[in-house]
Every structure is written in structure tokens, then in C-alpha cells.
Amino acid sequence: MTKHRTTLVAGATGYLGRFVVAELHRRGHKVRAITRSRERAVSPGPWDSPSLDGLVDDWAVGEVTNPAFIADVAEGVDDVISTLGVTKQKANPWDIDHRANLAILRSAEKYGVKHFCFVNVIGGDQCPAQLTRAKTAFAQELTASRISSQIINPPGYFSDMTQILQMAKKGRVFLFRPETRINPIHGADLAKFCIDRLTDGEEGAWNVGGPEVFTWKGLAECAFQALQRPTRVTTVSPAILSPLIGVLGLFNRRKADTLRFISWNMLHDCVGEPFGTHGLLDFYKDLVQKDGD
């Protein structure tokens, strides 16, 4: 197959990034993948996300925080998709979600890239966490750039919904506000949506989630159903959050900020336009079967 279009993927080794690379490869794009470990990139990813072995045409191996490495990373590239961002990594989101993405954007501008698709987070401009502030600040820079931008705002991914399954396995799910709604999305579905927007080329921002809307209590019921156990949910008062985040922040500011982000998402409806085909119950059942529970 002749490959006409080269797409640079930042965050290629992450849960979502791996599905993005696989989908670009399937559609015949030439893929340049940024990674800090090629060895890790070709190993299977978390939660059934694919190995990048055989899917990448051109490896860009280095640290996204190194200006010399990033300056020319977009040379010869038509489009960029960035799923780069701090989740569990020990890093300051302002260094990665904001500065590193901005450095990639500057490289893209320098080399005349046509489209830049950025994976942000739904409601990020309302959430008080540093993580979402750093992302919002980058999204503003991207919107102001002359490059055509596609900003994708999803709620939690299936990978993050495994936290509910973990609690259910231990016997009880703790929630702050059980009736809050969310439509989590599978990485393969979100990757398709991102690439559809990129190839359409229309500039804009989209709130997108998976095909099923749950309450958080419904997520817990789904996890217990996969485990074939009775549902056990305990509601915890959100009033404990502020002092808890304050105390945690004295010892570990990064963890406190993550808790601020997660709890905000559990207290506010996070529902995007429904998209995709993957169901959460099947995802949970697969995990349960693999774990032999």
C-alpha cells in the first residue's frame, strides 16, 4: 500500500495512543511515533491496548521535555495527534500537558503541518486541578495557532473504569454522588473518533463519550454483574474531600491534584456525544475472565 500521509503521534505508548497508532496504520497512514522507550512500545500495552510492533514506520525516541529533541520532530509530517499527558507518571502536568505539547505545536508550525488533533478532557475548563488547567492552557494556544485544530474532550476511558472493578473485587464500591452521570469510552472507539475528525479536517472541539450513559452507581452495578456478585455501594460525603486534599497536599502535591481531578469527575456529569460500539460489561467480563475470578 502506498502511504500518502504521515501522522506524528505523541503519547504513542499510552492506553489511548496505542489504539491511535493501530487505527492510523490500519487506514494506511505512515506513522511517526514519539516514545521514550522503544522496548516498552513494542510490548503489549495496558488493558488490552496493542503492542506497536510493526505499526510504526518511523520512531522518534527521546524525552518530550528536551527542546533539542522536540524542535524538529514534526519535520516531514502532515498531521499530529497528541494523546500526551500526565496520568500516573511522576511529572508536573505543566511540563508535559502544557509545555511539551506546546513545543510539539511549535515544531508543527515550523514545518507547515496541516492539522493538529489534541486529546483534552471533558469539562476540563471548569475543573480546578492543575492537570486540567495545564491542558486548557495548551488547548487555548492550539486554538490560537494557524494550524487547523481538532480538540477532543472525552470523559473517563475504560482503562480508568477498572478502578471501579478493583473496588468491586474487594467487596464494596465507594462513591461520592451515585447519581452523577458519565459515558466512558473504549480506547479503540476514541481513536477512531479522533482520526475521523483529523481526516475530515474541520476545525473545532468535540465532547465525545462511549455509547452507554451510566450513573456511577450503574458503573458499580455493571462491575458486580461481571463478577456475578451482589452490588454493594457505600456513599461517602463529598465534605471529606476538601480537608483530605489539603492534608494530602502537604505530603504529595501531585497525588492531591490527582484526587482533586478524580473527585471533580465523580461529582459532575461528564457526558459527551455517544460514539462507538464497545460495551463496558463485556470489557469488565473479559478482565474478570483473564484474572480467573
Judge contact between 98 and 92, C-beta under 8 A: no
Query: In whole angstroms, how close is the CB of 57 to ligand NAP at the nearest point?
Result: 18
* Per-residue binder mask for ligand NAP (CB under 6 A), 232-271, x = binder: ----------------------------------------
Judge contact between 156 and 179, C-beta under 8 A: no
Of 108, 123, 88, 119, which is closest to residue 258 (Cα–Cα)? 88
Judge contact between 207 and 124, C-beta under 8 A: no
Query: In whole angstroms, how close is the CB of 56 to ligand NAP at the nearest point?
Result: 13
CA–CA separation, 254 and 97 (whole Å): 14
User: Counting contacts by CB under 6 A, is residue 129 touching ligand NAP?
Assistant: no
Number of residues that bind ligand NAP (CB under 6 A): 25
How many Cβ atoms are within 10 Å of 125's Cβ, its own excluded? 14
User: Counting contacts by CB under 6 A, is residue 15 touching ligand NAP?
Assistant: yes
Dihedral sign, Cα of residue 278, residue 157, residue 122, residue 224: positive
Of 35, 40, 26, 46, which is closest to residue 8 (Cα–Cα)? 35
Measured from the CB atom, the residue of 1 and 192 that comes closer to ligand NAP is 192
User: Counting contacts by CB under 6 A, is residue 87 touching ligand NAP?
Assistant: yes
Query: In whole angstroms, how close is the CB of 12 to ligand NAP at the nearest point?
Result: 6
Relative to beta strand 233-235, strand 173-175 is parallel
Among 5, 36, 169, 232, the residue binding ligand NAP under the rule CB under 6 A is 36
Query: In whole angstroms, how close is the CB of 111 to ligand NAP at the nearest point?
Result: 21
User: Counting contacts by CB under 6 A, is residue 130 touching ligand NAP?
Assistant: no
Query: In whole angstroms, how close is the CB of 230 to ligand NAP at the nearest point?
Result: 27
User: Counting contacts by CB under 6 A, is residue 119 touching ligand NAP?
Assistant: yes
Measured from the CB atom, the residue of 77 and 129 that comes closer to ligand NAP is 129
User: Counting contacts by CB under 6 A, is residue 276 touching ligand NAP?
Assistant: no
Among 17, 123, 209, 210, the residue binding ligand NAP under the rule CB under 6 A is 17
User: Counting contacts by CB under 6 A, is residue 121 touching ligand NAP?
Assistant: yes
Say what angle helices 241-251 and 253-267 make with each other, to 10 degrees.
Answer: 160
Measured from the CB atom, the residue of 181 and 232 that comes closer to ligand NAP is 181
Query: In whole angstroms, how close is the CB of 2 to ligand NAP at the nearest point?
Result: 29
CA–CA separation, 96 and 280 (whole Å): 30
User: Which spans of this chain sit near ligand NAP (rule: CB under 6 A)?
Assistant: 11-17, 36, 64, 83-89, 91, 96, 119, 121, 154, 156-157, 159-160
